[in-house]
Amino acid sequence: MTLYDKLVNRFGKLFRRIYRLKVIGVENVPAEGSFILGCNHTALFDPVVLVLSIPRVIRFMAKKESFKVPVIGKIMTKLGMIPVNRGTADMKAMKTSLSVLNEDGVIGIFPQGTRCPGVDPRTTTPKEGVAMLSYHAGCSVLPAFIVTKDRKLRPFHPATVIIGKPIGQDELGISSGTPSEYKAATELVFDRICSLGESV
């Protein structure tokens, strides 16, 4: 049993009870091969929620500052999360993520780039990293949405993860990696993510 599995087994049952976690659409998760998981972002524990909802090992890209939070930072490190310098083109984080995908792994990204509690995600501007990484890795994007009351993750309030169907390279429509293609693909992915949250 890997360290990842040990952490999931050790904290999973308790966390699921505390956040009354429910998952819809788990059958849409590819059983093998690489993909990028894209989701809305409202709380520090969102990566944990997704780790407990997706039956694959996920390496998340997370802002560097989060790794300094007591306890949470250690858990993030043990789960193999990848620190990212916000506001910059962090090539080291991109190369690490690309390496994971090239080995049939899974990378988790929050296109909003930062937590937006209590905010309609459609009023936020997604970052284009998800489109760039998908194009260079040649992999699909799996959209997901964490539904919570008032768009805030709270203990003892239901949290539902809705997983959509993978968005393939053909649908993303990136042929040469131009800024306009990245922008259009990002908007498509984020619209699909937001639509999942509006379906309940």
Count: domains in the chain: 1
Q: Which helix (H) or strand (E) holds 162?
A: strand 159-163
Output phi, psi for 159, to 5 deg.
Answer: -130, 125
pLDDT, one tens digit per residue, over 105-144 is 999 999 998 899 999 999 999 999 999 999 999 999 999 9
Tens digit of each residue's pLDDT (9 = 90 or more) over 72-114: 777 778 778 888 887 666 788 889 999 999 999 999 999 998 8
Q: Which structural domain range is residue 109 located in?
A: 3-197
Give the domain CATH number at 93.
3.40.1130.10
Query: Per DSSP, which regions of 25-120 are E strands?
Result: 35-39, 58-63, 82-84, 106-109
CA angle 104, 110, 115 (to 5 degrees): 150
The pTM of the full predicted model, rounded to 2 decimals, is 0.91
